[in-house]
Amino acid sequence: MDFKGDISGLEELIRQAEDEYYSKLIEIGKNCIRIAQNARGSNGLKEYQNHTFNLRNAPGACVVKDGQIIWMEVVADTSHPEAKSETENLLIYSEKPKDGLYLADGMPYASFVRSKGYDVLDSAILYAGRQIEKKL
């Protein structure tokens, strides 16, 4: 069966849909960072006691398209440059096998704190999952 018709504008429509998709991922990523910074324990996880404030200043996110980071943000205050640098390095240099939203906390002890039952990125990850299903 042959299809004949005018497909002019189809590429533009696809580009607009992709732009909207990645724009929504960036919006979700920004909210995830805020949620991770303010995590107070959820889903049975505990709120950790913040001694250095590095962990709270280290959450970050990036959006990957065609294997390249198109947006990245790590919101850390100026008194915690190590926290920001660690997360930026993790987001930039870690393997990202698929396009999409990636969340990270680059402090080396983040996974240890999480293994002890504390909410490091869990609230943000759950939020991202819900929002991606809802908005995309």
Query: Would you kindly state where each structural domain of the chain is located, as residue ranges?
Result: 10-135
What is the predicted pLDDT for the residue at 49? Answer: 74
Q: Has this prediction a pTM greater than 0.85?
A: yes
Q: What is the residue type of 34? A: R
Strand, helix or coil for residue 12: helix
Cα angle for residues 55, 50, 77 (degrees, 5° grid): 50
Q: What is the pLDDT of residues 19-50, one digit of tens each?
A: 999 999 999 999 999 999 987 766 667 777 77
With CA atoms as reference, report the closest residue to 36 among 129, 130, 122, 132. 122
Q: Which positions of the chain have pLDDT values less than 70?
A: 1, 3, 41-44
Residue 97: C-alpha distances to residues 64, 66, 94 (Å): 9, 10, 10
Residue among 62, 42, 40 at smallest CA distance from 50: 40
Task: Give the whole-angstrom CA distance, residue 134 versus residue 6.
Answer: 33
CA 93/CA 14 separation, integer angstroms:
30
- The structure tokens listed for 7 are 């497909």
